[in-house]
Amino acid sequence: MIATLVEYAKLFALLVAVAVASGLVVMSVAMRTGGATVETPDLRGKRIIAAIEILDGRGLNLKVTRLAWDPEIPADSVVSQAPGPGEPVKTGRDVDVVISRGPRETVVPDLTGSTELRAEAILSRNSLATGARARAPCASGRQGVILAQRPGPHTRIGRGETVSLLVCDGPFPSYLAAPQFTGVSLAAAMERTKRAGLKINRVTYRPDAAPRETVIEQTPAPGARAAQGALVTLAVSEGPSAGGDASATYAFLYYTVPSLPGPVKVSVLLENSDGEKEIYNRVHRPGDAVSLLAPVKGRTAAKIFLDGELAEVKRY
């Protein structure tokens, strides 16, 4: 926007200069004995002030009809004219010209190290647009900082074209070997996931010869590479069953109470194929962590309310 205003200001100043110069030419011609026929000079490629002086010498006026981008004619120079060079014209008449704005190109600025917001502003000032954005972790961990760009800095491209950005998405994740949860109770597995910085995503109960509440299967597997904060899926024994291989699936719901002026009532309404029912209702302070196991049957949604007002919906 600022670049556009500056450009309009330059155009206005140029037109004022042309108008003043043309007025002087008109006064000069008026003092002569007019009506003679002269040949129109070749103004193409001439700077606008030089073109005015040439026309003044032949008793003609210069009239700028428009400005146009041109890859070869320098800015503020004549691109074309009417009447054309060598055509006869009466003195005191106008010669219409198109003035070059220069090549429709700009130099791509160096955006590396800038924030996304600043990069957008810089591109706008240079008559460029923000293109596709890719995100990746970076060594500095400064989220939102530009790591690379395409086209690269100092490349000449057309005005209005786009520049793609690679943006830092935070620090590189740290990894660990997934602990072994199989063979221990679900309560012990929950404690191990917490110490390792992992989270349980789903728990599936199914009949098995192992004692009830014993973890019989896990993803990721024991010793597998897992990122900090990764989700763990567990299968838990519900004991031997003579009635078939029916299984039940549960999902862990995690929620942190937001910063509020004071304590708030947190209630959770679970909606699945069995219908809708409240599964949690307690008063919490800001910053408290809420975690509970919710049965997943078909399309399941957990609706979290704060003092009766819907705050978030988690789907499973």
Average pLDDT over all residues of the chain: 85
Q: What is the pLDDT of residues 178-224, one digit of tens each?
A: 999 999 998 899 889 989 989 888 888 888 899 988 999 999 999 99
Phi and psi at residue 265, in whole multiples of 5°?
-85, 120
Sort residue 25 into left (φ over 0), alpha (ψ -120 to 50) or beta.
alpha
pLDDT digits (tens, 9 = 90+) for 92-131: 999 999 999 888 888 999 999 999 999 999 999 988 999 9
Shared fold status for 174-246 and 254-316: no
Task: Please check whether residue 268 is in contact with residue 243, taking contact to mean a CB–CB distance below 8 angstroms.
Answer: no
Fold of the domain spanning 254-316: Immunoglobulin-like (2.60.40)
Q: For residues 58 and 13, is the Cβ–Cβ distance under 8 A? A: no
**Entry field: residues in the chain:** 316
Task: Give me 21's structure tokens.
Answer: 């110069």
Give the Cα-Cα-Cα angle 114, 115, 116 (nearest 5 degrees).
120
Q: How many CA atoms lie within 13 A of 21 on its CB side?
A: 22
CATH of 2-100, one of 2.60.40.10, 3.30.10.20, 3.30.70.890, 3.40.50.300: 3.30.10.20
CA dihedral 52, 53, 58, 62 (to 10 degrees): 10
pLDDT single digits (tens) 155-176? 999 888 999 999 999 888 889 9
What integer pLDDT is reported at residue 35 of this predicted model? 64
- Condensed to tens digits (0 to 9), the pLDDT of residues 6-41 reads 454 555 555 555 454 444 444 444 434 456 999 999
Phi then psi for residue 175, to 5 deg, are: -120, 160
The CATH architecture of the domain made up of 174-246 is 2-Layer Sandwich (3.30)
C-alpha gyration radius of the chain: 37
Q: Give the model's pLDDT for residue 24.
A: 45
CATH fold of 105-171? Trypsin Inhibitor V; Chain A (3.30.10)
Give me the residue label for tokens 């609706």.
303
Instruction: Please state, in angstroms and rounded to a whole number, the distance separating the CA atoms of residues 186 and 280.
Output: 21
User: What type of residue sits at position 212?
Assistant: R
Say if CB 102 and CB 135 are below 8 A apart: no
Q: Which two tokens stand for residue 37?
A: 């026929």
Number of other residues whose CB lies within 10 A of the CB of residue 312: 12
Domain ranges of the chain: 2-100, 105-171, 174-246, 254-316
The span from the CA of 277 to the CA of 197, in Å, is: 31
Q: For residues 96-128, b (16+ Cβ closer than 10 Å) or e, as one string?
A: ebbbbbbbeebebbebeebbbeebbebbeeebb
Helix axes 48-57, 2-30, angle to 10 degrees: 10
